[in-house]
Amino acid sequence: MPVATPEVYAEMFDRAKDGSFAYPAINVTSSQTLNAAIRGFAEAESDGIVQVSTGGAEYLSGPTVKDMVTGATALAEYAHVVAKQYGVNIALHTDHCPKDKLDGFVRPLLAISAERVKNGQEPLFQSHMWDGSAVPLEENLEIAKELLAQAAAAKIILEIEVGVVGGEEDGVANEINEKLYTTADDGLKTVEALGTGEHGRYLTALTFGNVHGVYKPGNVKLRPEILNEIQQAVGQKVGKDKPFDLVFHGGSGSLPEEISAAVSYGVVKMNVDTDTQYAFTRPVVEHMFRNYDGVLKIDGEVGNKKQYDPRAWGKSAEAGMAARVVEACQNLNSAGTSLKK
């Protein structure tokens, strides 16, 4: 299957919400991690989402180029080719984009997709995230309204964040405090500004104590019941059950019961990055330790080409990450639900 069309992407979320499951959204930074993510989805027989952050896109463009749009475009074009070889639907998404990077990342990518759609093609990406958590809610929603109109015209779903995710990602750090919990009033202001789909479909990352990275038990207090409270308050106002399509950020290391509760309240997408980074790197470390005298030319020896060939340890890395993607699909109950089954 090729990369999901806008219609298939929308159907993926509808099925997830109706079936009480969610899709892992796997951050990638290279063709290797992209291949690992798609392999994992295929092995789990789950459709899924592959996403790239601003830092990941910059890295993908090359360490001396450092151009986010170039990196994101290259990844998407590569994904459109390789995804055809797998029997599941893969959607492409751009992760957290703060205000100061919109003009250098999301807006140019939206323009590329708009031009593609104008020429009868599908959009390059299926969704983009605007992260307005660092600005006042009114400004956050005003920018979201503008971007939603542009996204809808390009057949793209917009993701927004209402609330603050703690921890650090791509150089953006937030404290762990009461700001990590979105309120019902925040939810009501969101639908007042953006509607409930009539102006374009959007995903909402409401925060309930989420923190990027992995922390020891007790340091992070997740309260998924907040999602239910907001869904009920807004649903009563607009006359719709679970009006928000929710996103779970900062989910690495979460307890199974916390994940299950969040999904039951309308989470259809859960970001997974820290855990898959480790799953990719861990086999590489083992390979280097086990083959120390083969990957290094020690004491004048020549080493072992078969052991320092990047394909040797790269295959192990991809297999490790793919296995973690399968686990994520199982945790979110998306395993075995592919539209192509």
CA distance 11 to 124: 18
CA distance 127 to 106: 10
Residue with tokens 């939603």: 148
3-class secondary-structure state, position 101: helix
Nearest to 204 by CA among 236, 264, 152, 245: 245
Q: For residue 101, give Cα distances in angstroms to 132, 218, 305.
A: 11, 34, 42
Residue with tokens 């998404």: 93
- Catalytic residue numbers read 95
CA distance 300 to 196: 68
Helix then strand then coil, in percent of the chain rounded to 5, is: 50, 15, 35
Half-sphere exposure of 199 (CA within 13 A, CB side): 16
CA distance 174 to 46: 33
Helical segments of the chain, H only: 6-19, 31-44, 54-60, 68-82, 106-118, 137-153, 184-194, 225-238, 256-264, 274-290, 292-295, 305-308, 310-331
C-beta neighbour count of 230 within 10 angstroms: 28
CA distance 232 to 328: 28
